[in-house]
Amino acid sequence: MISPHSLTPLEAAIELDRLAHEIKRLDGPYNHPGMTPLASDTEYDALKRRHAAIEAHFPNLVRADSPSKQVGAPPAEGVSTIRHRIPMLSLDNAFSPGDVTEFDAKVRRFLGLAEDAALDYVAEPKIDGLSINLLYEGGALVRAATRGDGAEGEDVTANILTLPESELPRRLGPDAPALIEIRGEVYMAKADFLALNARQEAAGDKLFANPRNAAAGSLNLLNPQITAERRLSLFAYAMGDASEPPAARHGEYLERLKAWKFKVNEEIRHCLSVAELLAFYEEIGEKRKQLDYEIDGVVYKVDDLELQRRLGMVSRSPRWAIAHKFPAEQAATLLEAIEIQVGRTGALTPVARLTPVNVGGVWVENATLHNEDEIARKGVRVGDTVIIQRAGDVIPQIIGIVVDSPRGPADFLFPDHCPVCGALAVRPEGEVIRRCTGGLTCEAQAKERLRHFVSRNAFDIEGLGEKNIDFLFKIGRIKQPSDIFSLEATERNILKDVVTIWSEHKGRKVSDDPLSEDFHYHTDKLGILPLIAFAGWQEKSVENLFSSIRARATVGLERFIFALGIRQVGEATAKRLARHYGTLDHWRDAMQSDTEEALAELTSIEDIGPAVAKDIRDFFAEDHNRETVSDLVAAMRALGGRVEEAKRVEASSSPVAGKAVVFTGTLITMTRPEAKARAEALGAKVVGSVSKKTDYVVIGADAGSKAAEAAKLGVAILSEQDWLTLIGG
**pLDDT tier at 505, thresholds 50, 70, 90:** low
Asked if residue 389 has pLDDT above 80, the reply is: yes
Rounded to two decimals, what is the model's pTM? Answer: 0.61
Contact present, 374 and 362 (Cβ < 8 Å) = no
Asked if residue 120 has pLDDT above 80, the reply is: yes
Residue 203, judged by CB atoms within 10 A of its CB (0-12, 13-18, 19+), counts as exposed
Percent of the chain, pLDDT > 90?
45
How far apart CA 550 and CA 564 sit, in angstroms, is 19
Asked if residue 74 has pLDDT above 70, the reply is: no
pLDDT in tens, 687-699: 888 888 889 999 9
DSSP 198-236: HHHHHTTPPPPSSHHHHHHHHHT-S-HHHHHHT--EEEE
Contact present, 557 and 584 (Cβ < 8 Å) = yes
Please give the average per-residue pLDDT across 106-129, as a whole number: 94
Q: For position 515, what pLDDT does the model report?
A: 46
**pLDDT tier at 650, thresholds 50, 70, 90:** low
Measured in degrees and rounded to the nearest 5, phi and psi for residue 91 equal -110, 145
Of the candidate ranges 195-209, 495-509, 559-573, 587-601, the one whose mean pLDDT is the lowest = 495-509
Asked if residue 285 has pLDDT above 80, the reply is: yes
Percent of the chain, pLDDT > 70?
84
How many other C-beta atoms are found inside a 10 Å radius of the C-beta of residue 71?
Answer: 17
Please give the average per-residue pLDDT across 499-521, as a whole number: 52
How many other C-beta atoms are found inside a 10 Å radius of the C-beta of residue 170?
Answer: 11
- Sign of the alpha-carbon torsion through 237, 241, 243, 249: positive
Asked if residue 457 has pLDDT above 50, the reply is: yes
Pick the CATH number of 81-189+216-325 from 3.40.50.1220, 3.40.50.1000, 3.30.70.790, 3.30.470.30: 3.30.470.30
Q: Which residue has the higher pLDDT, 69 or 333?
A: 333
Of the candidate ranges 104-108, 263-267, 414-418, 428-432, the one whose mean pLDDT is the lowest = 428-432
Q: For position 620, what pLDDT does the model report?
A: 92
**pLDDT tier at 69, thresholds 50, 70, 90:** low
Q: Which residue, 103, 47, 115, is CA-closest to 278? A: 103
**pLDDT tier at 510, thresholds 50, 70, 90:** very low
Of the candidate ranges 569-583, 640-654, 712-726, the one whose mean pLDDT is the lowest = 640-654
Please give the average per-residue pLDDT across 274-278, as a whole number: 97
Asked if residue 7 has pLDDT above 70, the reply is: no
Asked if residue 272 has pLDDT above 90, the reply is: yes
Asked if residue 527 has pLDDT above 60, the reply is: no
How far apart CA 511 and CA 538 sit, in angstroms, is 12
Contact present, 432 and 332 (Cβ < 8 Å) = no
pLDDT in tens, 601-635: 898 887 788 889 998 998 899 888 899 999 999 99
126 annotated active-site: yes
Contact present, 144 and 134 (Cβ < 8 Å) = yes
Give kind and range of the element (H or E) at residue 190.
Answer: helix 190-202
**pLDDT tier at 77, thresholds 50, 70, 90:** very low
Asked if residue 530 has pLDDT above 80, the reply is: no
Contact present, 161 and 101 (Cβ < 8 Å) = no
Left (φ > 0), alpha (ψ -120 to 50) or beta: where does 179 sit?
A: beta
How far apart CA 635 and CA 481 sit, in angstroms, is 9
Asked if residue 29 has pLDDT above 60, the reply is: no
Asked if residue 313 has pLDDT above 90, the reply is: no
Pick the CATH number of 1-70+329-457 from 2.60.120.10, 2.40.50.140, 3.55.50.30, 3.30.70.260: 2.40.50.140
Asked if residue 456 has pLDDT above 60, the reply is: yes
Measured in degrees and rounded to the nearest 5, phi and psi for residue 403 equal -60, 140
Measured in degrees and rounded to the nearest 5, phi and psi for residue 122 equal -120, 130
**pLDDT tier at 40, thresholds 50, 70, 90:** low
User: Structurally, what CATH architecture does the domain formed by 660-726 represent?
Assistant: 3-Layer(aba) Sandwich (3.40)
Q: For position 276, what pLDDT does the model report?
A: 97
First to last CA, the chain: 48
pLDDT in tens, 287-302: 998 999 999 899 999 9
Average pLDDT of the chain, as a whole number: 85
Q: What is the CA radius of gyration of the chain?
A: 27
Measured in degrees and rounded to the nearest 5, phi and psi for residue 22 equal -65, -45
pLDDT in tens, 127-176: 999 999 999 999 999 999 999 878 888 899 988 999 988 889 999 999 99
How far apart CA 110 and CA 87 sit, in angstroms, is 22
Q: What distance lies between CA 674 and its chain's CA centroid?
A: 24
Of the candidate ranges 18-27, 244-253, 684-693, the one whose mean pLDDT is the lowest = 18-27
User: How far is the CA of 131 from the CAs of 134, 602, 611, in angstroms?
Assistant: 10, 39, 39
CATH class for the region spanning 554-644: mainly alpha
Contact present, 569 and 64 (Cβ < 8 Å) = yes
Q: For position 75, what pLDDT does the model report?
A: 47
Give kind and range of the element (H or E) at residue 192.
Answer: helix 190-202
The top-scoring range by mean pLDDT among 12-16, 65-69, 631-635 is: 631-635
Q: Which residue has the higher pLDDT, 509 or 41?
A: 41
Contact present, 463 and 542 (Cβ < 8 Å) = no
Contact present, 20 and 565 (Cβ < 8 Å) = no
**pLDDT tier at 105, thresholds 50, 70, 90:** very high
Q: Which residues pair with 663 in a beta bridge?
A: 698
Scanning 288-386, the segments in alpha helix (DSSP H) are 305-311, 372-378
Of the candidate ranges 217-221, 340-344, 401-405, 499-503, the one whose mean pLDDT is the lowest = 499-503
Please give the average per-residue pLDDT across 533-546, as a whole number: 81
Contact present, 421 and 442 (Cβ < 8 Å) = yes
How far apart CA 466 and CA 484 sit, in angstroms, is 14
Give kind and range of the element (H or E) at residue 420.
Answer: none
Of 48, 69, 126, 378, the catalytic one is 126
pLDDT in tens, 181-210: 999 999 999 999 999 999 988 888 888 878
Q: Which residue, 206, 157, 208, is CA-closest to 186? A: 157
**pLDDT tier at 502, thresholds 50, 70, 90:** low
Measured in degrees and rounded to the nearest 5, phi and psi for residue 483 equal -60, -30
Q: For position 649, what pLDDT does the model report?
A: 53
The top-scoring range by mean pLDDT among 221-230, 283-292, 668-677 is: 283-292
How far apart CA 531 and CA 500 sit, in angstroms, is 17
Asked if residue 438 has pLDDT above 50, the reply is: yes
Q: For position 540, what pLDDT does the model report?
A: 83
Q: For position 2, what pLDDT does the model report?
A: 63
Kindly list the domain boundaries of the chain, sorted by start residue: 1-70+329-457, 81-189+216-325, 461-551, 554-644, 660-726
Q: Which residue has the higher pLDDT, 712 or 258?
A: 258
Of the candidate ranges 49-53, 215-219, 505-509, 530-534, the one whose mean pLDDT is the lowest = 505-509
**pLDDT tier at 66, thresholds 50, 70, 90:** low
